[in-house]
Amino acid sequence: MSKRTRPRVFLVDDHHLFRAGVRAELGDSVEVVGEADEVAAAVELIGEREPEVVLLDVHLPDGGGQAVIEAVRVEHPDVRFLALSVSDAPEDVIAVIRAGARGYVTKAISGAELIEAIERVADGDAVFSPRLAGFVLDAFAGMPAEESPASVDPELDQLSSREREVLRLIARGYTYKEVARELSIAIKTVETHVSAVLRKLQLTSRHQLTYWAANRRLV
């Protein structure tokens, strides 16, 4: 990973202070090619500059991060998104992931961890923070397959026991490396499992997921 060129990163956040802070923290490890504070400007500039990774605030006026992903994806399917948020409302996070983000981290993340996450997303892998892993386990928990008979692919509606194991470790605060060591598998395999979970999360047609999110939406 260290041999790769610096990833080209674009920042989208409606708080100027936060963008400045992230820029400072990222330092020279990445190349920040631009930033935007609203959906329309973000869509236009991302299309123009074609960054590898977009650091995307979940909460933006006029449709949120979701709107940016949906608009950019049409013409630039190669741009990858990493969601950042202070608010951990599960339904917002799940919505952005389902729109196509490759991962989710909280704004409390340290600079080094953020850089690692960006590189991971640039490489096409998924980034699961402990909280996201918890949400996903919760969303898929205790839902037997027969509850969604209309599903196209029942495989998509359930996590394999290995995937569950990996997610559980991530939720417990393990890094990918630590998960790999704990389960005696390669880091690459951990990444494969996590990417598979992300795919399931994005593709599952299970009503439960929306139902779950709606249920959790308490404010």
Q: How far is the CB of 172 from another protein (least distance, A)?
A: 4
Which residue type sits at 164? R
Using the rule CB under 8 A, give the single segment among 25-33, 82-90, 93-101, 204-212 that binds another protein. Answer: 82-90
Q: Pick the closer one to another protein by CB: 100 or 130.
A: 130
In this structure, what are the phi and psi dihedrals at residue 12, rounded to the nearest 5 degrees? -125, 115
Q: Pick the closer one to another protein by CB: 141 or 152.
A: 141
Q: Say if residue 165 is exposed, middle or buried (CB neighbours under 10 Å; 0-12, 13-18, 19+).
A: middle
| Binding letters toward another protein, positions 118-157, x by CB under 8 A | ------------xx-xx--xx--xx---------------
Q: How far apart are CA 1 and CA 3, in angstroms?
A: 5
Q: How far apart are CA 94 and CA 104, in angstroms?
A: 9
Q: Enumerate residues 6+ apart whose C-beta is below 8 A from 21.
A: none
CA angle in degrees (0–180, nearest 5) for 105-13-137: 25
Residue 87 in the binding site for another protein (CB under 8 A): yes
Q: How far is the CB of 169 from another protein (least distance, A)?
A: 9
Binding site for another protein (CB under 8 A): 87-89, 108, 130-131, 133-134, 137-138, 141-142, 168, 171-174, 216-219
